[in-house]
Chains A and B, each alone.
Chain A
Amino acid sequence: MCNQTVCLVAAELERQGISTVAIQLLRNVAEKVRPPRALFVPFKHGYPLDTPGDPARQTAVIEAALKMLEDPSLTAPALRDYPIK
């Protein structure tokens, strides 16, 4: 449910003029709900940025997500897989 919830909040933020990118843990849910920008990460539920206490790993995931905000090639709904190839 968490995946859908952040997608719905992201949509409202976009409607009000804020660019968003949402981490997603279930690819099929992201495909069905369709947030504007989503980065699917291959981690377990409860671990959206992977390993606790691993700042480098967490930062890598965050930067991959934020990179989508500046990618002019993307159109809605944009769904990418981490790691981005």
Chain B
Amino acid sequence: MGETSEFSLTVRLFLKGYPWRKIDPVPWTPLKKPLSEAKLALVSSAGFVMPGQPHFDESFKGGDPSFREISSTVDVKTLVETHRSESFDHAGLEKDPNVGFPIDRVRELAGAGKIGSINHRHLSCMGSITAPGRLIVNTAPPAAKTLVEDGVDAALLVPV
């Protein structure tokens, strides 16, 4: 089970006093059509980049708030995981990137007619962001807008 006891003492102490960002008010968008007709996008915080894309910047104070676009046609085995955190086991993502970016599973669900379609691009970020102000104000709004412009109806978000 995902518990803070998995983390080092230093991380546990940091989290104990960490001011989590409370979303208030909580926005709510009902799904406007059946999932079997909806266009889905993925958002992964596993720090994946495609070959040739710049890695997430481990030296960025407070956490790199940038996004990468991951093509829907990507071969997951080619994804490069650049998450900086030492607080979790990276072996699972390395063995099977679908654990953090389940594009193969989503393709199967679309093939089975359970999802209407898959957007041609998805969002990747590096979730180890302790100071999320720049994410909230500067980077998440335009990233979300790209999916709106694509006509995406629903998104599945996967942390690690």
Where the two chains meet, the residues of A that have a C-beta atom closer than 8 Å to any C-beta of B are 1-26, 29, 32-36, 41-53, 55, 58-59, 62-63, 65-66, 69-70, 72, 75-77
Return the contact of A70 from the options B35, B88, B98 (Cβ within 8 A): B35
**Complex-state Cα separation, A12 to B21, whole angstroms:** 13
Most chain B CB within a 10 A radius of its CB, from A1, A49, A50: A1
Beyond contacts A9-B45, A66-B154: 7 other A-B pairs, Cβ-Cβ < 8 A, are A1-B129, A21-B154, A32-B22, A44-B88, A48-B160, A62-B102, A66-B109
Classify chain B: how many residues form its interface, as a range. Answer: 35 or more
| 7 residue pairs from A and B, CB less than 8 Å apart | A2-B85, A5-B135, A23-B159, A49-B100, A62-B106, A66-B109, A69-B38
Whether B77 is near chain A, meaning CB under 8 Å from some CB there, is no
Which residue of chain A has the shortest Cβ distance to B95 in the bound complex?
A: A52
Which residue of chain B has the shortest Cβ distance to A33 in the bound complex?
A: B20
Most chain A CB within a 10 A radius of its CB, from B115, B125, B159: B159
The 10 tightest CB contacts between A and B, nearest first, are: A2-B127, A25-B2, A52-B96, A2-B159, A45-B88, A46-B88, A14-B27, A6-B157, A5-B127, A22-B157
Whether B34 is near chain A, meaning CB under 8 Å from some CB there, is yes
The DSSP consensus for interface residues of chain A is mixed
Whether B90 is near chain A, meaning CB under 8 Å from some CB there, is yes
Where the two chains meet, the residues of B that have a C-beta atom closer than 8 Å to any C-beta of A are 1-4, 6, 20-24, 26-32, 34-35, 38, 40-41, 43, 45-46, 63, 85, 87-93, 95-96, 98-100, 102, 104-106, 108-109, 114-115, 123, 125, 127-130, 132, 135-136, 140-141, 143-145, 147-148, 152-160
**Complex-state Cα separation, A74 to B159, whole angstroms:** 22
Which residue of chain B has the shortest Cβ distance to A48 in the bound complex?
A: B158
**Complex-state Cα separation, A82 to B87, whole angstroms:** 23
**Complex-state Cα separation, A14 to B29, whole angstroms:** 5
Query: Which A residues are in CB contact (< 8 Å) with B98?
Result: 49, 52, 55, 58
Given contacts A1-B63, A63-B114, contact A44 B1 (CB under 8 A): yes
Query: Which A residues are in CB contact (< 8 Å) with B99?
Result: 46-50, 52, 58
Chain B nearest Cβ from A72, distance in angstroms: 8
Chain B nearest Cβ from A38, distance in angstroms: 9
Which residue of chain A has the shortest Cβ distance to B42 in the bound complex?
A: A62
Contact across chains for A63 and B109 when beta carbons are under 8 A apart: yes
